[in-house]
Structure 1
Amino acid sequence: MSTAYHPQTDGQSERTIQTLKDMLRACVLDFGGSWDVHLPLVEFSYNSSYHSSVRCASFEALYGRKCRSLIMWAEVEEGQLIGPKLVQETTEKISQIKDRLKATRDCQKSYADKRRKP
């Protein structure tokens, strides 16, 4: 028996935490120091990394645009989206992400159903 909405019983949270632990461990082994020093870099890396379930980075899914790294901050874009065009592109991306998540869920359900005993 488990409590609803409890992170320890939520598979998605558990997987994310495990991934972050692995990334932190790799940073500490490669660069030395304490894990808390590397946490901002790991968070940035995770949020700007491609996730197969939504087929984009979580930053892009949340904000509707690609994450700009420190190198890209120096570049100035001439044609920035404003107004209705921004709303239209954001709506299209949200629709794409919803479709991709549904397809991923269906695939995972099919996989689980094949291995589940009746």
Structure 2
Amino acid sequence: MAPYKMLYGRKCRTPVCWREVGQRVLASKDVIAEMNEKIDMVRSRIKAAQDRQKSYADRRRRPIEFQVGDYVLLKVAPSKGIIRFRKRGKLGPRNIGPFKKLARVGAVAYQLELPPALDGSHNTFHVSQLRKCLADETAYVPMDDIEVDVKLNDVEKPVAIKDFKVNELRNRYVRQVLV
């Protein structure tokens, strides 16, 4: 039996594996028994490798459950080219909040109490989008300090211009401002 048939459970149908036309010859029972033993050995080793990988993955996996009234952080999905929640790119926060959990909806979803600034989004989230807030309530930064427009972009206004210079790049002039 070819390795292709051991892996996929069917014969390979590529032109490389085609045989000559003619009478088929059956192999002896000893050869067939030996091949069946090898196939069983390959399957058992593949099963052992799968079980080993599953045990590694299960060590890090833990059930996520929250109590009513807990504070959680909400995961934000950054869009490329859009400034959301104060920072851009890799400096942008991965989680915002904390938000109070109001109720459990089904087995894996929770309803959150969102501030008026986030009225445009739905208030029910899957547990994969939530992280437990480990900080106390005194460390909470209120959303009132942050100005957010309709598209959830942070509005920043310069206070004063300290210095500026103009750089020339080929046929383009770029003005740099120090705020």
Please indicate the TM-score interval, normalised by the length of the shorter structure.
Answer: 0.3 to 0.5
Structure (1/2) with the larger strand percentage:
2
When normalised by structure 1's length, the TM-score is 0.36
Q: What TM-score does the superposition give when structure 2 sets the normalisation length?
A: 0.25
- Structure (1/2) with the larger helix percentage: 1
Radius of gyration: which is bigger?
Answer: 2
